[in-house]
Structure 1
Amino acid sequence: MESIVQDIKNGNIECFKMIYQQYHTKLYFYVLKCTHSAYLSEETVQLSFILLWEKREKLSTNYDISVQLFRIAKSVMTDLLRKQQVRNRHTETLVRETPDWHMETDLTVKEELTRVYNSIEQLSPIRRNVFKLSRFEGLPHKEIAKQLSISPKTVENHIVRAIRQLKDSLLLLLPAIVAWLC
């Protein structure tokens, strides 16, 4: 128990890959059971392993790696669910307060979709390709990895980084959207 945690703390990538292979599916189904959402399960698992690696120096040798990984996943899942609830509340409020908003904003929605598409096109070629195969064509990570001759973990990292990059670039649009709504 301590040796695995210590190996990961020391940056042993092979040990990390072994833990990833051992717990990826278990973690996915644990989150799926809680959320009933494949999307949230996938996001939680990806972010959990990224956090495990990024915060590996803070791991405790007093606890088994599985306990720490599932604790990270529970925290990530809670954060994602909380964010989803906030989004849903804002959407419901918007729809309730402005029932005709969809008719008034057709042109604006098309413009925003164009901006989103342009943001996707600004991604690096490999990241853009991985993102489109995952999100537009719905291919699983293993299939994308096979098509592009890269590892599933690399696919996962590209998707996470693409989402972060898109969020950052689209957050720049948020003030314009808010100003338009007010």
Structure 2
Amino acid sequence: MFRLIRYLLAIMESIVQDIINGNIESFKMVYQQYHTKLYFYVLKCTHSVYIAEETVQLTFILLWEKREKLSTNFNISTQIFRIGKSVMTDLLRKQQVRNRHTQTLVKDTTTWHVETDISVKEELKRVYNSIEQLSPIRKNVFKLSRFEGLPHKEIARQLSISPKTVENHIVRAIRQLKNSLLLLLLLVIY
């Protein structure tokens, strides 16, 4: 029994030494033996397929890249899971930071949208108030043109006026609206 344990320890030490020496076949064998176990361990801890996949990939990349730092005093599974736990912790920290930044961004964006919506509503209110100050016929012609989307000929037919008169009312309405909105803008600025 003691011999068997010593034999298994010698094999484990040999595998670690082979990986340290850059033996790709030993590395592949270790990967085949432990990648699924590590994946399910991380999945059980995090409940995240993404983090489990990333952890396994990064763990084996680090294992290979830093193979000279492996210890023959510990079996390979202990070292793999130690690296994996460290990688998993780093990924969870990064995810928390991303989540905080996303929450801040969403909060800021929501605040910006609310402020923008209020600003747009105020501007629209000013425009509607300016439209309401137009003379009754000009207001009616403007609304039929811009809100109803009717062509000049149809407005002329409905109101029993000439298409040229419709055009004149729209041009004057736009000019009057520009002037009143410009005046409002100047009052807001100063």
- Whole-Å separation in 1 of the counterparts to 2:63 and 2:113: 42
- Whole-Å separation in 2 of the counterparts to 1:47 and 1:88: 21
Q: Which of residues 60, 84, 101 is equivalent to 1:90?
A: 101
Q: Does 1:32 align with 2:43?
A: yes
| Deviation by residue 1:83-125 (Cα, 9 ceiling, x = unmatched) | 000000011111122306689xxxxxxxxxxxxxxxxxxxxxx
1:48: which partner in 2?
59
Unaligned runs of 5+ in 2: 1-11, 115-190
**Counterparts in 2 of 1:101 and 1:10: CA distance versus 1, 3 Å:** farther
- Whole-Å separation in 2 of the counterparts to 1:34 and 1:82: 14
Residue type at the aligned position of 1:16? F
Q: TM-score, with normalisation over the residues of structure 1?
A: 0.55
**Counterparts in 2 of 1:102 and 1:76: CA distance versus 1, 3 Å:** farther
Unaligned runs of 5+ in 1: 104-182
Q: Does 1:22 align with 2:21?
A: no
Q: Greater relative contact order: 1 or 2 (C-alpha under 8 angstroms, separation 6 or more)? A: 1
Q: Which of residues 82, 88, 102 is equivalent to 1:77?
A: 88
**Counterparts in 2 of 1:90 and 1:29: CA distance versus 1, 3 Å:** same
Residue type at the aligned position of 1:46? Q
**Counterparts in 2 of 1:94 and 1:23: CA distance versus 1, 3 Å:** same
- Whole-Å separation in 1 of the counterparts to 2:65 and 2:23: 13
Q: How many corresponding residue pairs?
A: 104
* CA RMSD, Structure 1 to Structure 2 (Å): 1.8
Aligned 1:1-182 pairs, distance under 5 A: 1-99=12-110
Consecutive aligned runs of 4 or more in structure 1 exceeding 3 Å deviation: 100-103
- Whole-Å separation in 2 of the counterparts to 1:40 and 1:102: 33
| Deviation by residue 1:25-55 (Cα, 9 ceiling, x = unmatched) | 0000000001101111000000000000000
- Whole-Å separation in 2 of the counterparts to 1:22 and 1:72: 16
Q: Is the 8 A contact 1:95 1:101 kept in 2?
A: no
- Whole-Å separation in 2 of the counterparts to 1:18 and 1:97: 50
Q: TM-score, with normalisation over the residues of structure 2?
A: 0.52
Greater C-alpha Rg: 2
1:140: which partner in 2?
none
Residue type at the aligned position of 1:81? L
- Whole-Å separation in 2 of the counterparts to 1:26 and 1:98: 42
**Counterparts in 2 of 1:101 and 1:27: CA distance versus 1, 3 Å:** farther
